[in-house]
Amino acid sequence: MPDSAPFGAYAPSGLVASILNRTGEAKDAWLSKRLSFLLRRIAIAWLGGKPVDVERLGARMRLFPYNNVCEKRVLFTPQFFDPEEREILRAHLRDGYVFVDVGANIGAYSLFVAANAGPDARILCVEPQPAIFDRLVYNIRQNPGAAIKAVDCAVADKPGELTLFLDPRNSGEASVKIVGSGQAKPIRVPATTLLDLVTAEGFDHIDAIKLDVEGAEDIILEPFLSNAPEALHPRLIIVEDGSGRWQIDLPALLGERGYRLVSKTRLNFVYEKAQ
């Protein structure tokens, strides 16, 4: 469970605050990034396992920058946290925006959309890891104007229960497929399909979906795009590049379903549905 202390109890101060100011202003250049990583290590050692309460991406968050790369990136260098993907999302925002976040982690994407889409947005985020889900819920609660619903389950090709493999070195790399580390810890979690998930919410359309499930994106999208009505096909898909682990040619499938690639970043593909 996240620390129950009120938000602000872990506000950065002293050396940590100075480092956060410096890393938050880092430029997209090799030397600047190297210095930021060095300063990050110093700050993490100084923190001694405590979280940090900050505002990032337009939202309040309590971040634990230890065994979660996502939290490290958002805390120290939010300007480098998927900037192109976020700008594409921002450009597509409209009234009543519907966003689905599969593999939400601590909620960075969902909170960003909520901060920019307004109170009429509907945001559904899914995170199967119990400890990370607790952090996600805490962060959502610190932003009472955010129209976000969190669901603690995995998304797969069929409903039921499945084994989730946790990577102790990076909790953001949990997967329904065996992760590379021999230290991976398996846990059993409930699962549902994407179609069942959005149908239960009563969605009649999806403006955008983000999938970051460590190589299992194919087993989620293939049955959804095959079985969901056309009206539910997302207008924008941000999918982590798991091409080395996908069992199908997912880019080809998306092309067949009328999507075009609009961006390939270091970590993700971004596809847009042809109008």
Give me the mean pLDDT over the 257-270 stretch: 97
d(CA 110, CA 83): 14
Residue 142 confidence class, pLDDT cut points 50, 70, 90: very high
Go through the domains of the chain in sequence order and give each one's CATH number: 14-75 (no CATH), 83-273 (3.40.50.150)
Neighbours of 196 (CB within 10 A): 14
Alpha carbon separation from 70 to 107, 216, 232 (Å, rounded): 10, 18, 29
Residue 49 confidence class, pLDDT cut points 50, 70, 90: very high
pLDDT (tens digit, 9 = 90+) per residue, 207-230? 999 999 988 999 999 999 999 999
Give 67-118 pLDDT, tens digit per residue.
Answer: 899 999 999 999 999 999 999 999 999 989 999 999 999 999 999 999 999 8
Determine the pLDDT at residue 179.
Answer: 55
pTM listed for this prediction:
0.94
The first and second tokens of residue 172, run together, are 């953001």
User: What is the H or E stretch that residue 16 is in?
Assistant: helix 14-24
Identify each DSSP E strand in 111-200 by its residue range. Answer: 122-126, 148-151, 154-156, 160-166, 185-193
pLDDT digits (tens, 9 = 90+) for 158-206: 999 999 988 878 877 777 766 555 567 889 999 999 999 999 999 999 9
